[in-house]
Amino acid sequence: MSDAPSLNTPRLIDPFARTISYLRLSVTDRCDFRCVYCMAENMTFLPKKDLLTLEELDRMCSAFISLGIEKLRITGGEPLVRRGIMTFFNAMSRHLESGALKELTLTTNGSQLARFATDLHAAGVRRINVSLDTLDAEKFARVTRWGRLDQVLKGIEAARNAGLRVKINTVALKGFNEDELFALTDWCAREDMDLTFIEVMPMGDLGEEQDRIGQYWSLEDLRAQLEDRFTLTDLSESTGGPARYVRVAETGQKIGMITPLSHNFCSSCNRVRMNCTGELYMCLGQEDNMSLRDILRAHPDDDAPLHAAIRRAIGQKPEEHSFDYSDDQIAGQMSRHMSHTGG
């Protein structure tokens, strides 16, 4: 039986007439890195009993897919550190085969790709995002606290050899990777990998040693620096995410820019996020959420209450987030860490 929504099944439409077709699902809050803009060094993670089981993740995602979700991105923490995670990816492949799901993908720090790249491709994954903020091994160790650059580069190579298209996600960090702007751009051009820059977002308390304002590098400034060397042409295309894209005439490569602070992208938002305990966040930059775990567990043989709850949640999706760094103040900071919601 197909999991695709029937012609009589209303799609998920939010109060601002946006069709919600994209679910970003965190399968764990744990990670083998401690990136300075994402986590405190000494994190307290969720009790494992609170996490959705792999079977519950399957049922939850299948419910969303039956209501019109066509793109599923798996995130964390680091999704590939979750024990048995390939069981879940293999289960989701049936929705690709049925045609209900158009894309199954993930965002990863790359540390485990050498182990899993071939299996991910076999499960139907064709594109992945790899988070990488520097090509300098010493700086990489500093920004990730626990990571090794050579391990990630070997993972990227394994992914490409397995047939996965790799896009690099780089968080723009003032005073950290400004001097690598062109090195990162040139490397991605040589390796035929797309590149997306992301403004640092005010998510979670990182401790007194981390200064949010000091980390923030506006992508308006980053783009101006690129335009000193390259000819950039704005592209109208979208991959279903928040990035705006440009084409670099001199290299032919595509560069994306995700600008939640300097340029609000909310008008075209088509996504919601779920964390590993079943809390659905209708907006990354708002605290409002709806817990679906208890509903799912209370009705093991009936998806109707879960479907109804999902629709209620989408009906509460706000118009926009509230991130703001203007006037050297942080407004709209979220109490939860990015690893809790999913990157």
Binding site listing for GTP: 24, 73, 107, 167, 271-273
CA angle at 99 for the pair 98 and 100, rounded to the nearest 5°: 95
What is the DSSP code (8-state) at residue 232?
Answer: E
Q: Is the Cβ–Cβ distance between 313 and 280 less than 8 Å? A: yes
- Which residue has 């019109």 as its token pair? 68
Q: Give residue 7's Cα distance to chain centre.
A: 30
Q: Is 234 exposed, middle or buried (0-12, 13-18, 19+ CB in 10 A)?
A: exposed
Phi, psi values for residue 121, rounded to 5°: -65, -40
Which residues touch 115 (CB under 8 Å, ≥6 apart)?
Answer: 80
Residue numbers in the known binding site for S-adenosyl-L-methionine are 37, 77, 131, 201
Residue numbers in the known binding site for [4Fe-4S] cluster are 31, 35, 38, 266, 269, 283
Q: Is 316 exposed, middle or buried (0-12, 13-18, 19+ CB in 10 A)?
A: middle
Amino acid at 193: M
Q: Give residue 186's Cα distance to chain centre.
A: 24
Measure the CA–CA gap between 275 and 31, rounded to whole angstroms. Answer: 14
Token pair in block for residue 337: 């860490």
Q: Is the Cβ–Cβ distance between 308 and 58 less than 8 Å? A: no
Measure the CA–CA gap between 155 and 54, rounded to whole angstroms. Answer: 24
CA angle at 91 for the pair 62 and 272, rounded to the nearest 5°: 40
Q: Is the Cβ–Cβ distance between 243 and 259 less than 8 Å? A: no
Residue numbers in the known binding site are 24, 31, 35, 37-38, 73, 77, 107, 131, 167, 201, 266, 269, 271-273, 283
Q: What is the largest CA-CA distance in the chain?
A: 60
